Structure formats: C-alpha cells, structure tokens
C-alpha cells in the first residue's frame, strides 16, 4: 500500500484529508502539535478503514524533530509516497499593533514548518525518484486580508515555495502542488461574526462555506497517480469566491 504523511491531522482539513486518503487505500502517518487525543481519534478512524496509521507528536519548526519523525515513519510504515503539509496556526491582529511573538508564530509554523517538512521528505523521495507533495496554503495568501498580514505573508511564501520546488524537484520525479482553501467550516470560521459570514456567502458563487471534505478531494487527487503530469499548480478550493 502507498504511504502518506499528513501534518496537522487532529481535526478539520487535516483529519478530512487523512480519512479520504485512507478510503483510497493509503497507509498514514498523522502528526499533531499538542492535541494528542484528537489525533489518536483521527488515527482510529483511519484504522477502521482497514489501513495502518501512526499518530505522532511533531513540532514542525524543529528540523531535527521532523527528520526523526520522517525516519520513524519510513521504518514503521515504509517509504513515503506522498506528503500533505497542513500544520498551521494564526495570530490575527492589526500589523502595527502586533507583538513580535504574534508576528513570528505563523511565519515559523506555516512557512518554516512547511519548508522543514518538505525538505526532509523530499530528500528521501529524491533517492527513489518519485513522490507527491501537497502544501495547504490559503486564498488569504493570494488576496490578503486585513488583520492577517502575518498569516497572509506565511501562506504567500508557501505559494512561492511550491512553484520553485516544482522546478527543482521535477527532474527527480517529485511533484509539488498546493491547495488554497477559501472559507472552510472549521474552528477558525466558527468564531466569525454572523454579518461577516453573510458577506462571505454573498461573495461565494456556490453560496455556502466549504467543508473540510471539499479540500480533501483535491488533495487526494494530487496525491494520486491520476495527477501524475501536474506539478507547480495552485488549486483554489473556494467555491468561486470573489474578493
């Protein structure tokens, strides 16, 4: 069976991606930063689909920790065929009032953590001449959003990283793509004011917020051989949002 790593798999988009990949027959390594119980629950759901799953704690900001986790995955499950880099965080607020810590957190987790995960995985894939890497970014990285300058910068950086890595790693048989979710029904959108949600719905062609499963489908496609001639692509999963 093929093997995939999904970071940030405790809930939301990461958990949905794990469950979709399991349904497609992938064996999975799932990582979490702090919520072990939620990640173990995702792993239990995956195992119920008849595939093996590991739930592992990982701080993606630490490149040595990433290397150790990737080594363990390959020892216990086998060579990585795909990586879904989903782990991320937000620290919203007006840029000129933001503390240094709040400014740096999304850059360190979203951008540097993504880079650490991709670099560690790609080295192993490179030796085998094959692999698919999918980074989860955001439409905020493309369009910007007031109060999310730090988050937008981190997600825009991922977009540039994906396009560059696709050129670097393509000759080695490794595909690198990204999905950019719009407003997806998760913990982050659950706290939005009703008038804000109404505005988003009116600007969305499909007239609804997305669900984590809406993102999982494109991710599973990009991980699969069905997308074998696709690399360096940013797939917007936003329901036709006009900003």
Task: Give the active site residues.
Answer: 151
**Cβ-based neighbours of 137, under 8 Å, separated by 6 or more:** 155, 156, 158, 159, 162, 178, 179, 180, 234
In angstroms, the Cα distances linking 225 to 82, 132, 220 are 11, 9, 10
Q: DSSP state, 185?
A: S
Torsion from C-alpha of 209, 23, 220, 140, nearest 10 degrees: 30
The structure tokens listed for 91 are: 């620290």
- Find, among 20, 18, 135, 7, the residue nearest to 70 by Cα: 7
> Which residue's structure tokens are 């399991």?
22
Q: DSSP state, 108?
A: I
Rounded to whole angstroms, the Cα distance separating 210 from 185 reads 6
* Stated length of the chain: 243
Q: What phi and psi values does residue 60 have, to the nearest 5 degrees? A: -65, -10
Which neighbouring-strand residues pair with 31? 56
Q: What phi and psi values does residue 208 have, to the nearest 5 degrees? A: -155, 160
């Amino acid at each position: 069976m093929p093997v995939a790593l999904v970071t940030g798999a405790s809930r939301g988009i990461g958990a949905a991606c794990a469950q979709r990949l399991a349904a497609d027959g992938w064996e999975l390594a799932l990582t979490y930063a702090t919520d072990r119980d939620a990640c173990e629950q995702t792993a239990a759901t995956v195992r119920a689909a008849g595939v093996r799953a590991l739930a592992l704690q990982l701080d993606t900001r630490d490149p040595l920790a990433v290397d150790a986790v990737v080594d363990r995955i390959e020892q216990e499950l086998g060579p990585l065929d795909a990586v879904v880099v989903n782990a991320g965080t937000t620290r919203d607020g007006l840029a000129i009032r933001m503390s240094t810590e709040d400014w740096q957190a999304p850059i360190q987790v979203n951008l540097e953590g993504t880079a650490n995960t991709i670099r560690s995985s790609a080295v192993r894939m490179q030796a085998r001449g094959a692999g698919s890497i999918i980074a989860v970014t955001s439409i905020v990285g493309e369009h910007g959003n007031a109060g999310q300058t730090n988050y937008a910068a981190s997600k825009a950086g991922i977009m540039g990283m994906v396009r560059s890595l696709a050129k670097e790693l393509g000759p080695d048989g490794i595909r690198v793509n990204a999905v950019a979710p719009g407003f997806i029904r998760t913990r982050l959108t659950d706290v939005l004011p009703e008038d804000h949600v109404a505005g988003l719905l009116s600007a969305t062609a499909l007239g609804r917020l997305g669900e984590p499963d809406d993102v999982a489908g494109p991710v599973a496609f990009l991980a699969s051989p069905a997308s074998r001639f696709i690399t360096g692509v940013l797939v917007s999963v936003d329901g036709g949002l006009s900003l």
